[in-house]
Amino acid sequence: MGNEKTDYRVNIEELRYDWPLILLILLLVVASVLVYPHLPGRVPTHWNSHGQVDGYSSRSFAAFFLPLLTIWIYGLLVLLPLLDPQRPNYALFTGVYRVLRSALVVLLSGIWAVSILSGLGYSLNVQLIVKGAVGLLLLLFGSLMGQIRFNHFVGVRTPWTLADERVWQQTHLFTGRVWVLGGLLLLLGASVPGALGLVFYLGVLGMMIVAPIIFSYLEYARINSR
């Protein structure tokens, strides 16, 4: 995707692909302003492993923090490639990079909506929704991981992937398979309640983090032992 380009640029041509995303962010800001007067003084923003509320925030924090964080993350993801020494490589996975930043914005917007609806008194299984959404996000990321080209900001960045582009490519192909499997497991286990569900969830996440690190080291050692 995006092979017709020779460099990553931030201009009208590039941002026009993001118009649904920019519209979503604008709607998020407008919605936060409109909903703010209707929120209670304390809004649930954290739930324990049993799905019970165990943390509250002020209505200002609940209404505005995630929209502002979403704007910051979107802006960061748009601008960071400009600072990357491997900036031209972003042109080799432009479409994938758009999908990744879009998925993050959609996830944050959804988490905000769930928190706000809970604050307004709607009964939601927040734990199931959030766990399922994260599992779906990681499944999506896994399906695209092998297409991410060598860079310093996006992907599996270990000392070994950054030291050898061959290790980078093999590690991302491996990580893609691991994350697809992990994402499916997270989706299947999202409804497991209580401490068992939390242990399962954290265990799968741990596997998804540690396995690529170990693989990148072993792959680096294999390639450089020849």
Which residue, among 18, 198, 24, 5, has the nearest Cα to 106 in the 3D structure?
24
Q: What is the DSSP string of the chain?
A: --TT-SS---SHHHHGGGHHHHHHHHHHHHHHHHHGGGS-SEEEEEE-TTS-EEEEEEHHHHHHHHHHHHHHHHHHHHHGGGG-TTGGGGGGSHHHHHHHHHHHHHHHHHHHHHHHHHHTT----HHHHHHHHHHHHHHHHHHHGGGPPS-SSSS---HHHHH-HHHHHHHHHHHHHHHHHHHHHHHHHTT--HHHHHHHHHHHHHHHHHHHHHHHHHHHHHHTT-
Q: Kindly report, residue by residue over 63-91, the tens digit of the pLDDT.
A: 999 999 999 999 999 999 999 999 999 98
CA 176 to chain centre: 14
- pLDDT per residue as tens digits for the range 76-131: 999 999 999 999 999 899 889 999 999 999 999 999 999 899 888 888 888 888 88
Q: What pLDDT score does 52 carry?
A: 72
- Asked if the model's pLDDT at residue 12 lies above 60, the reply is yes
Which one-letter amino acid corresponds to residue 151? N
* CA torsion through residues 114, 119, 125, 130, sign: positive
More confident residue, 19 or 6: 19
Q: How confident is the model at residue 54 (pLDDT cuts 50, 70, 90)?
A: confident
pLDDT at residue 37 is higher than 80: yes
What's the rounded Cα separation, in Å, for the pair 19 and 164?
Answer: 36
CB contact at 8 A, 96 and 131: no
What is the residue whose two structure tokens read 């199931």?
Answer: 128
**Angle between helix 194-223 and helix 165-189 axes, rounded to 10 deg:** 170
Distances (CA, A) of 64 to 57, 76, 117, 178, 186: 11, 18, 14, 35, 29
Please compute the mean of the pLDDT values over residues 155-173 and round it to a whole number. Answer: 96
